[in-house]
A and B are shown apart, each in its own frame.
Chain A
Amino acid sequence: MNTSFLLFALLNPIFALLAAPLYMALIRKVKAYAQGRKGPRLFQVYYDLRKLLHKEVVYSSTSSWIMRFTPYLNLSALLIASLFVPLLFVPEPVGGFGHIIVFLYLLALERFFTALGGLDAGSAFGGMGSSRSMSLAAVIEPSMVVAFAALAFVLKSLNMHEMFALTASEVLPLSPTLVLVSISLFIILIVETGRLPVDNPATHLELTMINEAMILEQAGKNLALLELAHALKQLLLMGVLINTIFPIGLSTELDSGKIAVSAVLFLLKAGLLAVVIGLFESSLAKMRLFRLPAFYVMAFFFSALTILIEVFA
């Protein structure tokens, strides 16, 4: 363990946790503007979380320990995952931290327990949401693995810290393969965070819900933790995308001035990406469930192409 990593382990998760809800709110705001509404204030999401944290938790009488355990597990899995994606500065690699396969498994763990939590309450909605989420996961996960494999292949490392140290240090980082893999990463970001055209986070309609159905039975503090975990997941995937395609300003050394600059720059870049996501969501209608594989195959296509180009060209 070195000081650089210790400081990173302290700063990065706290920064991610504080910034994550902001982008949920920003996307909501952009969508509201696109629909001609004003939308809630940006900080409303923080007030909501505070309110939920003070509320009592109500459990369904059929629920088991899974329901009580899921929110804590999800948030901890994503807090650990936040040690894998450098947002402020890239530390010197330590042990298995930053390993891309562990990162993927942490995301899978979160997805798995969210689905279990949906089933646990015994309501019809939760079961339906879990079933949909798992069947979609069976299709998107191969694409996700191939996309991250392509990223690892292009940047010649399995460690995300090393990868992003490389992208941050290059002067002209825009290579064709990185552009391609970024498109896959964008699709994965949309799918994983349950946004349109895959899932609509704004409704509670029986026909469209996937993620919302699974957390429908959660209440109070647990709901707050799950929402926070979801926001954190979104921020981390945004971080991966930003560090891949637009890493300008990401500090590669431990220097308070540079870290401050990279924090401000990251907030701005993530804000820009959130606006793009909001506009993307506003411009699309939800796809039918059985047409979704066509959307996922796009991610697969571009990642496979990345590997082909990287090998041959």
Chain B
Amino acid sequence: MIDPFLLEGLIKILFVFVLISAALIISTRNLSSVLTTYTIQSFLLALVSFLLYLMDEKGQLLLLAGLTLASKVILIPYFISRIEEKIKIGRDLHFTYLEPTTSLLLSIGLILLSYVFLSRIFEDLSLSKLFFFGAVIGVSLTLMGMLVVFSRRKVITKVLGYLSMENGVLMFGLFVTEIPFIIEVLIIIDLVILVMLTTILAVGMDSSIEEYRQKFRKLQIWTGGRYL
């Protein structure tokens, strides 16, 4: 049996690395680095889940760790790296509304905000500090992923932002609500399908959404509400 204090310390350090990876996803401009960061983030989550299993010894947590490892560390990054090869763009340099500097400053505010709200909600529940901390990080991760979806121009980074949002949900689920295993599986299947669809659409996806729409219009697949 491993000392629970040591485990708790390790999990807290992993939290810190998860936050660092979220900050990197917001600010990195190199597409393959964003993907690597996402893979590392998912790996960290699998590790957190495994450490929680060592603490609680619930089989479900071990399954979750394995599932995360298989889908988010191996399968999804593999698909996305295939897309990256196809679309032949290495970097996402354009941001809408927010530059990474502002996004990072804003995400400090978001973390603070999620702390304040969660502390009100969980006032009555006697949640241990570690679990409360995990919940705050989970919600912040979701909000930071939202910032990525919001501020990035390229579709592929938007998808990665969405995936990192889902990582936040998983984190929140691990520490607070205990999402039933079946729902977690469904979410992951959803993600895999999302990423596969993106792969199929990847042919036209060497650009931002606006240009993509124009391409669609040119091929008369989708006219954006107007009939040509």
Pick the contact of B12 from A172, A183, A313 — CB < 8 Å? A313
C-alpha gap A294/B26 in the complex (Å)? 11
C-alpha gap A176/B16 in the complex (Å)? 6
Any chain A CB within 8 A of the CB of B107? yes
Is B105 touching A297 in the complex (CB atoms < 8 A)?
A: yes
Is A293 touching B101 in the complex (CB atoms < 8 A)?
A: yes
A210 CB, nearest partner CB in chain B, Å: 20
Any chain A CB within 8 A of the CB of B111? yes
- Give the nearest-CB partner of A294 in chain B: B101
Given A172-B9, A294-B101, A298-B104, A313 and B129 touching (CB < 8 A)? yes
Pick the contact of B108 from A176, A180, A301 — CB < 8 Å? A301
Pick the contact of B13 from A174, A300, A305 — CB < 8 Å? A174
B9: chain A residues at CB < 8 Å are: 172, 174-176
Chain A, interface size: which category?
Answer: 20 to 34
Interface string of B96-119 (1 = CB under 8 A from A): 000111001101100110010001
B100: chain A residues at CB < 8 Å are: 294, 297
Q: Specify the main secondary structure of chain B where it touches its partner.
A: helix
Interface string of A274-313 (1 = CB under 8 A from B): 0000000000000000000110011011101100110011
Any chain B CB within 8 A of the CB of A128? no
Any chain B CB within 8 A of the CB of A179? yes
Q: Specify the main secondary structure of chain A where it touches its partner.
A: helix
A177: chain B residues at CB < 8 Å are: 16
Pick the contact of A305 from B12, B27, B111, B133 — CB < 8 Å? B111
C-alpha gap A177/B101 in the complex (Å)? 22
A294: chain B residues at CB < 8 Å are: 27, 99-101, 104
A293: chain B residues at CB < 8 Å are: 101
Is B108 touching A308 in the complex (CB atoms < 8 A)?
A: yes
A180: chain B residues at CB < 8 Å are: 16, 19-20
Is B136 touching A298 in the complex (CB atoms < 8 A)?
A: no
Is B19 touching A305 in the complex (CB atoms < 8 A)?
A: yes
Any chain A CB within 8 A of the CB of B23? yes
A298: chain B residues at CB < 8 Å are: 23, 27, 104
Any chain A CB within 8 A of the CB of B162? no
C-alpha gap A280/B119 in the complex (Å)? 39
B115: chain A residues at CB < 8 Å are: 308, 312
Show 12 A/B contacts (Cβ-Cβ < 8 Å), sorted by A.
A176-B12, A179-B16, A297-B100, A297-B104, A297-B105, A298-B27, A305-B108, A308-B108, A309-B16, A309-B133, A312-B136, A313-B12
